Amino acid sequence: MNRFTGIITRIDGQQNIHQLSIQLNDVSFRALIIDHEINPINFSVGDKVGVIFKDSEVFMGKDHIEHISIQNQVSGVIKNIEIGDVLSRVFLETSIGMVSSLISSSSVKRLDFKKGEKACAFIKTNEIILEKI
């Protein structure tokens, strides 16, 4: 599980769907919140929040990509790779902290990931969990 701390800088949306912008050091993340009558949105601009996402929800690539729908992208350097038969865990040191990703071992080989190389983590807005701190 990946856990970071950020500050909400903007809230957009209406009715039951909101997109929150969160500043994590020098990186801006976005989270999609769908609220219900029993769980209304209870966040405000300026709130300090925990930003949480599973390592199985982190996509990996060699470079930052501008022309894709995944808005949350953070670049860094691969610090470690734990290779398994089917799945591997990649640890990426970034400006927001260490991001871990669980991807297929075949993808690690296909992308030719190596310790010390630059890479980028991608996280979809609907995979972000927020908690008030």
- Which tens digits make up the pLDDT trace of 1-29? 999 999 999 999 877 889 999 999 999 99
pLDDT at 79 over 80: yes
- Which tens digits make up the pLDDT trace of 28-41? 999 998 876 555 66
Which is nearest to 92 in space by CA: 127, 64, 70, 51?
64
Number of compact structural domains in the chain: 1
Distance (Å, whole) CA 14 – CA 55: 30
pTM of the model: 0.89
Are the C-beta atoms of residues 17 and 34 closer than 8 Å to each other? yes
State both tokens at 8: 């909400």
| pLDDT in the model for residue 106 | 96
pLDDT at 65 over 90: no
CATH code of the domain covering residue 59: 2.40.50.100
Share of the chain above pLDDT 70, in %: 95
In this structure, are strands 129-132 and 2-14 parallel, antiparallel, or unpaired?
unpaired
Distance (Å, whole) CA 122 – CA 72: 6
pLDDT at 71 over 70: yes
Which is nearest to 104 in space by CA: 122, 85, 121, 123?
85
| Domain membership of residue 127 as a residue range | 2-132
